[in-house]
Chains A and B, each alone.
Chain A
Amino acid sequence: MVSIHLILFLAFGAVAAAGAINLLVQRHPINAALSLIAVMAALAGEYMLLGAEFVAAVQVIVYAGAIMVLFVFVIMLLNAGVEEQTKGSRVAILFGIPGMLLGSLLIAWVVLKHSGTGDVAVGALPGAPNVIGQLLFHEFLLPFEVTSILILIAIMGAVVLASKPPVPGGAPAKKVQD
């Protein structure tokens, strides 16, 4: 008997794959962005099925809810039009597709060799928020802090890029008062 778990897994997988293909095929940027949101949401469903509730929720909040909103925001702001179709390059067809297949085979091989093909019970791996919190702040404290410093540097870089450079030798920029 096919379990409902397997049916849901295949359904979410199909949505994710269809969304990813649609993302490539669509010519309007906003439709492409919306397909990407569908992919993110389907992946969140898969995480949920695997018992990783926290990762699923964060996937929806951060990727589908925050990052993609900014994508859509930028597309709306620039009012980007329909993308122009090129004929496609021969290099991409000759080397790109075989290269992609080779790359995914390599990744699959490494993953299978590392973790084996045995089944993992739902909830066997850490997925609950309190367990993840314990892991992050005890076992993986150093990588966690290093990542946060990396993000801090990225934020500072964004602030520097967004602020207007002072005009050399000119009058100081007028401050806007509210």
Chain B
Amino acid sequence: MPIGLYILASVIKSAIVLFVLLTSVAYTVWLERKVVGHMQNRWGPTRVGPFGLLQPAADGLKFLFKEDLTPPHVYKPLFLAAPLIAVVFALTSISVIPFGNDVVIGGYVIPLQITTDVNTGLLLILGVTSIGVYGVALAGWSSNNKYSLLGGLRASAQMVSYEISLGLSLVGVLIMAGSFSLRDIVHAQQGHFWGFIPNWNIFHGQIIGFFCYLMAAYAETNRIPFDLPEAETELVAGYHTEYSAMKFAMFFMAEYANMITVGCLATLMFLGGWNGPLFGPPVLQAILPVFWFVAKVFCFLFLYIWVRGTLPRFRYDQLMAFGWKFLLPVALANLIATAIAVAW
């Protein structure tokens, strides 16, 4: 493919993925308010549009028109940079995620992925998410406010601790697939066994790995039951206490974009990626893989919201004890068991 066409294809793909990602971020917020509302015997948003469907647009406008307040005692360069860091790295990590098989348009093979299939795609995602911590930590520190500082400290300690379990929970899958490439990992999960059970890693001995990944992912994205960095009852709003208007919205976007990335990764690693039943005419067969992928990510996001509506928040020492004394040994045991089983 000539370099000009290649760049054009990359730009178009980036624009589409970014548009879909930001729209899903907005509608995940709507979904969360709606679902949690119904779980608590309320209606959730109903006023703006049918079923409150225009609520995200109204929220976006409100964020734009609110006064953008910068408190006088903050350390300005980092106070301004922190939300940018958070949102940029949250949006970057989606770029190595493949959404389906290659598509052939006009004789050119175009992978359904912003970057080409890098050999170390998974490691890149882990690296980018580990840099995302700085957004939260620097926001807490530069705000010059004790609640923000405590939130930032909690966030950095929590994310560094759970990153280890997150990485280890994925290594089992890597051993089974024998590759770091997300595309190869999905291809390794094709087909069925015993006639009908799909060949996904979660059914293939990685159920414990999936459990570890789930717990670590909740902690990494600062979601209930691990949302200690922004615990309202003790820290006002944690690291983003001093932020208002669009800067606050950036943290919000980063959090939900991270949730979606984590969901995509879970789908690719454990739930078989875009593998699923294919049927119907050729056009439908071309669309179905992407549909299965999106459907699985949706289920994962729904689980996130469900957990939020169900579980209370941990205490901080419980969080650390759980991460280091339970989750890490379990992830290690899973890794050793998988290695022995594969070597057998």
> A30-B141, A72-B156 given as contacts; is B120 within 8 A of A57 (CB)?
yes
Select which of B119, B126, B134 is within 8 A of A53 by beta carbon. Answer: B119
Residues of A within 8 A of B140 (CB): 76
A31-42, CB under 8 A of B: which get 1 and which 0?
Answer: 000100100010
Number of interface residues of A (CB under 8 A): 26
Quick check: is A8 within 8 A (CB to CB) of the other chain?
no
Chain A residue numbers with a CB within 8 Å of B120 are 53-54, 56-57, 129
CB distance from B324 to the nearest CB of A (A): 12
- Bound CA span A75–B120, Å: 32
Q: Which of B127, B156, B321 contacts A73 (CB 8 A)?
A: B156
Q: Among A60, A75, A130, which residue has its beta carbon within 8 angstroms of that of B131? A: A60
Contact residues in B for A44 (Cβ distance below 8 Å): 127
- Contact residues of B: prevailing secondary structure: helix
Q: Which of B131, B138, B152, B163 contacts A64 (CB 8 A)?
A: B131
**B180 pairs with A129, CB closer than 8 A:** yes
In the complex where A76-B140, A76-B152 touch, is A57 in contact with B130 (Cβ < 8 A)? no
Taking CB as reference atom, which chain A residue is nearest B144? Answer: A79
A15 interface contact, C-beta 8 A: no
Contact with A along B116-156 (1 / 0, CB 8 A): 00111001101110110110011011000000010011001
Alpha-carbon distance A30/B315, docked complex (angstroms): 29
Confirm or deny: A173 has a beta carbon within 8 angstroms of a beta carbon on chain B.
Answer: no
Chain B nearest CB from A122 CB (Å) reads: 13
**Which of B126, B159, B317, B321 is the one whose CB lies under 8 Å from A61?**
B126
Contact of B160 among A58, A66, A75 (CB under 8 A): A66
Interface residues of B, CB < 8 Å — how many?
32
**B157 close to chain A: CB less than 8 A:** yes
Q: Restricting to A4-55, which residues have a CB under 8 Å from any CB of B?
A: 30, 34, 37, 41, 44, 53-54
Q: A2 CB to closest chain B CB, in angstroms?
A: 15
A178 within 8 A of B: yes
Chain A residues whose CB sits within 8 angstroms of the CB of B157 once the complex forms: 73
- Docked Cα-Cα span, A75 to B138, in Å, equals 11
Question: B153 contacts A60, CB within 8 Å?
Answer: no
Q: B288-318 CB contact bits vs A (8 Å, 1 = yes)? A: 0000000000000000000000000001011
Q: Name the residue on A nearest B152 (C-beta).
A: A76
Question: CB within 8 A of A37: which of B78, B134, B156, B317?
Answer: B134
Query: Is B138 a contact of A178 with CB atoms below 8 Å?
Result: no
Known: A64-B127, A76-B141, A77-B153. A30 touches B78 (CB 8 A): yes
What are 25 A-B contacts defined by CB distance under 8 Å?
A30-B78, A30-B138, A34-B78, A37-B134, A53-B118, A53-B119, A53-B120, A53-B123, A57-B126, A60-B124, A60-B127, A61-B123, A61-B126, A64-B127, A65-B133, A66-B130, A69-B133, A69-B159, A72-B156, A73-B156, A76-B141, A76-B153, A129-B123, A178-B315, A178-B317
Q: Which A residues lie at the B interface, using CB under 8 A?
A: 30, 34, 37, 41, 44, 53-54, 56-58, 60-61, 64-66, 69-70, 72-73, 75-77, 128-130, 178
